[in-house]
Structure 1
Amino acid sequence: MTSIAQTMIGVDIAKQVFQVHEVNAETGEVISKQIKRAKFLDYFANRQRCLIGMEACGGAQHWARRLLALGHAVKLLPAQQVRPFADGNKNDVADARAIWVAMLQPGIRAVAVKSEAQQAVLALHRMRQQLVKFRTAQMNGLRGLLAEYGEVMPRGRAALTKMIPLVLGRLTDRLPIVLIETLREQYARIGQMEGQIADIERRLQLWHREDEDCQRIAAIPGVGLLTATAAVASMGDPRAFRSGREFAAWLGLVPRQTGTGGKVRLLGISKRGDTYLRTLLIHGARSVLVHSRTPSPWIAAILQRRSLNVAAVALANKMARTVWALMVHQRTYQCSYVSQPA
């Protein structure tokens, strides 16, 4: 414990002022001080190698890379794992102390430190996801406005794109021209966002072609461009997970557990971890179940016992484990491969 505590430092990062907390293992002295952003790296530049803990919040990946370059070890902790150790009032001193205490706890999985290239891919995914939300909101807004004039259109982007020119043409003689022009501008904005989404996907495709891991896991049925790039960028180092099941549990694709007195009950999936990547895997699994002409015996057996949604989650779990295995062992996908116990 002495050697560990001697090198451990908890840091609460912010925009301009950082709070540092450490305990001297020899004297027991508690060191808690504020450091300005411009002098943060200078504080660690001339120190011996130590373990620095931070919450995995905005800017944490940048500072983790900079501290790793200085030769230190960095542990990024999920905020929900640090919160139980923050007692008393909410302030920077208490947060830095809570991070330091959380670093001592066993069983807390650290967030992977990502490279700038991996973080750039995730940034493209987030911007694409935001544009998709904006596009959906724009289409729903147009659909609601046109319903006020008796024009009810089917749901879906394809139906809206097909019908809205005809609908605006019918309403030209009934409504003021200023409203018709504004509706046309709103409809044109949807096309602009679709073009921006396509541009981001083309940029992701370029990275996908150059990355070997993306090419390797893209051969898995149900894993496409978005799932492959998001999985490689989100996972970081696959060896940080001890098994494929641990990676699936990190994504929230395994059952929650509740029990006492030695009796354990399995509930629905935990839905912990990366919501975006979990959603992509489940959508990919559902497409395999719906469009596969010759499903494997494993899938056919599940569909006989469970509903389509349950089978999709089970297949997504299997896909996540396969992704981990291919990346760790550097193998190519084989549809007839049978795993062997370790």
Structure 2
Amino acid sequence: MELLSALLTITVASIFIYIYSFFINHTTPRNLPPGPRPLPLIGNLHIINLKRPYLTFIELSKVHGSVFSIQMGMMKMVVLTGYEAVKNALVDHAEEFGERANVPIFEKMDKGMGLIFGHGENWKVMRRFTISTLRDFGMGKSTIEDKILEESDHLVQMFQSFQGKPFDDSVSINAAVGNIIVSIALGHRMDYEDPIFLRLLKLTNQNIQLAGSPMISLYNMFPGLIDLFPGSHKTILSNLTEINEFITKTFINHLKELDVDDQRSYIDAFLVKQKLEENNPSTYFHNRNLVSLVRNLFSAGMETTATTIRWGLLIMTKYPEIQGRNKFGPEELY
């Protein structure tokens, strides 16, 4: 009986693999660049250096050229290697390459809304609005400098509170950078000890770390299958629900006190635009976009800047003799 069950399983698996291979081979675009031959189900995963995939891509480019294709699980993708290939695509043909890929975990999170993983016309409208609004609130101008200097004072005071004892600077720096974004998005800063703020920072950092984990990579390759099991993808979506609830509660409070002539924040500006287009059935200024936008600004802006500052502090600590100098000559700056 067990032998029969095993033979049946092998037969079903073989049929599935055959159908899959037939499907893949007959749905491959004719103009897809050359690349290594994929295996059923796993694609080219067996030849990829998972810790340093760029090393594999460099070697493959020597065989297949600067533009080649690979298959990660069931997902086909095109890889560009070298300055000329990347410049030709992203600069010379920026419009054609302006769209974002449909990455399963981010589609699950944002459903094409927001800024980072938005699509099509929605992304273009949100991008234009975000750039103009952030400029209105001081981004790229000297007016933002006052907020940064004020936040720097709070950060220095936090460092001094440890009285020279060792401490983890990640939470403090994330909070300081996050506050610059919060002050623009919400119209005010938050205290470093505020439990809601700390929870928001924790959830955001955890989602960013999980998004780059092997489990999420596996989910992106086999979303339908992995979605049936518990794992990091479930944690990300659970954290996301809590973050969205905070943002929703925040802009509802803003709506109660909204003054068209006195816009205090990014959320206010969005809500004013939403009111202006409330009779437009095809408007992109709806609550789903607002939630995604605020979360995008907070997560993307905080993590990248905070990481840069932490590296800067590490280098300053490693080379105190340079830090101690009052003036830098050209030879020390470059």
TM-score (norm 1): 0.24
Q: Which has the higher helix share?
A: 2
TM-score (norm 2): 0.24
Larger RCO: 1 or 2 (CA < 8 Å, sep 6+): 2
Q: Which has the higher strand share?
A: 1
